Chain A
Amino acid sequence: MPYEFKFPDVGEGIHEGEIVKWLVKEGDKVHADQPLGEIETDKAIVEMPSPKSGKILKIHVPAGGVIHVGETMVTILEEHETDADAKRHMEKKEESKVPYTGSVVGFLEEAKDVKPVQTIKKEAKITAASQPSVQATPAVRNLAKQLNVDLNSLKGTGPDGRITIDDVQKAGGSVKKEESSGIKVTRKYDFFGYVDRVPLHGVKKAVANKMAESIFTAAQLTNMHEADVTELAAKREKEKAQYEKEGIKLTFMPYIVKAATLCLKEHPYLNASLEGEDIILKKYYNIGIAVDTEEGLFVPVVKGAEAKDIKAIAKDIDKLANDAKSRKINLMDLKGSSFSVSNLGSVGVEFFTPIINYPESAILGVGRIMEKPVVKAGKIEIRKMLPLSLTYDHRIVDGAQAARFMSDLMERLQLCDFG
């Protein structure tokens, strides 16, 4: 905006002055403090220095004219301003010269020339910004922008050829992502002290997801029982040597798996899963065995346990556990279980609350066998007791149902009834 140099109020009761002569004319270049002209007030003739550097755009009062305090003497186009500023300024001045009279009909502009009636310019110009029409929601357009995907190059797979988020993401996959500096800052402390960060990946990550899915989905609760396995322990002691000769390590697990399988056949709801509105009762008995490895928890599966005898099951468990520990296990051996058994007895646990191997309906937790004083027919006897914890999905299995299953299981273990 050009500078309007107004006649200043210099005090001393001076209200007006007379321009004696101008030392510059319109269009002249001036610098700050250069004298522009001489003004005579009733006190004296004084030189008037320019307040700005620039070009004299307009002299408002001619030499010999009288100027009052507050009136513009000269307009100066400052050095950084352009001719366009000058033009705009002058136009505005013209406009504001129209006196305001307060008429209700205001001021109507008069047409200067006749306009053609039909002014449609038919030749539509194609500019760089012109694009063929692309069908995409704003969300898709935004994603395309972020992934630097050109929507024009995509073929939409949505309704009416609409480009979907998937289309853009697929195309974005081949687009190089912005390279980062490669430096990742990880803090080794939190508010309360130093910490180590261990990234969750591999088996641990899979287990974490599986466990969370299970606990947030199934309504789980646990029944706990103790089975008297004194006779079973004697039986195992007897058979162990024979197995060892065949290179098989005989634990209690094959007996438990076999007994559980036989009970599952009688209690089908514990060998089941829930799919939507349907309970799926499985006619196969594949028993998952939880195995602790350095990499994390594995649950290899003894397939078709109902058709296998103790020895076959013992062999399977042995092999699967070794395969899992050496990471040589076949993926198919980790799938298809219908019921699972988790043994924490080997590490000294008695009772615990195992988490269901989702989507199965139950899991049997096996604890550590201990000699305990048991009252039998009025006498205290020392018996070998096996702690058992059955977690079941209460959406499928009721508490009493679970208890009946456990009572059958304990009876079989107690009586060494494996078929």
Chain B
Amino acid sequence: MVVANIVQAVTMALRQELARDKNVVVLGEDVGVNGGVFRATDGLQKEFGPDRIIDTPLAELGIVGVSIGMAVNGLKPVAEIQFSGFMYAAFDQLVSHAGRIRMRSRGRYTCPLVVRAPYGGGIRALELHCESGEALFSHIPGIKMVIPSNPYDTKGLLASAIQDPDPVIFYEPMRIYRAIKQDIPEKEYFVPIGKANVVQEGNDVTLIAWGAMVETCADAIEKLNNKYSVELIDLRTINPYDAETIIASVKKTGRCVIAHEAIRTSGFAAELIAAINEKALLSLEAPVVRVTSPDVPFPLAKLEGYFLPDVNRVIKGIEKVMSY
């Protein structure tokens, strides 16, 4: 066991997979000599050499495009996009190619590619450095979308993602990159993709979150001080999401709040609400409440406290659904 934060858990998973499988390669801007803008690949180039830890030019479309070529030809590339907001430049490669290789080749080829990117706000960074685009990437068939919320899940999910035969976008919650430390196993373990985690069981209301919002929601529950019995679910995988766990929980509680950093309209909460309506409508005692950011571009540092949902907004959401 070793104490690690989320960034260190990323490094551990990469090192473990690089050592286990010689086909795994890491590429991205400054991942090699520099060790990554957040130090996620620190020391890896020294250990595995410049042929496997590859510094690329500043061109996200190229990074993902090259990775797709590598993946189709048998390698297992793990591409790092410095900030998730830069992934839009590679959108065409993801939509038009990565997600379609399996279908296009009638199953002869798959695209075992992982695209890692820190996402989310709350760290007073600059424009395009705080994006939460998970809903955009959940709308691409053939691509999986994973977001861990703690070091243990980060290591286990990243290992699963690297070994997955299909493309996986791996969003890392930047705000809590170093804010959560856990004692995690050094040896290999996997957290399955597509399985949500019930962080805390409860009977009154289901609270669903992912990424850094899981921490915010846990704080909200603590602040509520047993006023309600809240079931907190960490979704962990956005696509394919774990409908079974969510539906079972909502059928039990009859109430649901979904919190995400992303903006409201067409945010991933909307998809979850649709699933709840389809499968748990008869159990609902109140409309599902969304706690989200407003429908505007991510603001500059001074305003992000007003933009991002915080503990009080999550509590307000819970009160709203409980008092309906």
Contacts and interface: CB of A to CB of B under 8 A. Distances in A.
Nearest to B285: A141
Which of A106, A109, A110, A123 has the most B CB atoms < 10 Å from its CB?
A106
Interface string A155-171: 00000001000000000
Interface stretch (A10-18, A129-137, A296-304): A129-137
B301 interface: yes
B178 A127 contact: no
Contacts of A103: 125
B252 A133 contact: yes
A125 B228 CA distance: 8
Contacts of A115: 150, 180-182
Interface stretch (B16-24, B54-62, B139-147, B194-202): B194-202
A328 interface: no
B182 A122 contact: no
Contacts of A133: 251-252, 254, 283
A298 B50 CA distance: 104
B119 interface: no
A248 to B, nearest CB: 68
A130 B123 CA distance: 38
A169 to B, nearest CB: 18
B125 A104 contact: yes
A138 B202 contact: no
A115 B284 CA distance: 34
A44 interface: no
Contacts of A138: 281, 284, 287
Interface in A89-122: 98, 100, 102-111, 113-117, 119-122
Nearest to A159: B282
B245 interface: no
B132 interface: no
B203 A102 contact: no
A18 B126 CA distance: 39
A94 to B, nearest CB: 13
Q: DSSP class of A's interface residues: helix, strand, loop or mixed? A: loop
Interface in B177-193: 177-184
For this complex, into which size category does the number of interface residues on chain B fall?
35 or more
B176 A105 contact: no
A126 B203 contact: yes
Nearest to B322: A129
A110 B3 CA distance: 13
A400 interface: no
Nearest to A127: B229
A380 B267 CA distance: 93
B216 interface: no
B5 interface: yes
Contact of B282 (A100, A110, A124, A135): A135
B226 interface: yes
A121 to B, nearest CB: 5
Given A116-B182, A117-B182, A133-B252, 9 more contacts: A98-B124, A105-B123, A111-B178, A115-B150, A125-B229, A127-B227, A129-B204, A131-B285, A137-B281
23 contacts: A100-B301, A105-B38, A106-B125, A106-B301, A107-B123, A108-B123, A108-B177, A109-B175, A109-B178, A110-B178, A110-B179, A113-B181, A115-B150, A115-B180, A115-B181, A117-B182, A120-B199, A123-B201, A124-B203, A127-B203, A127-B204, A134-B254, A138-B287
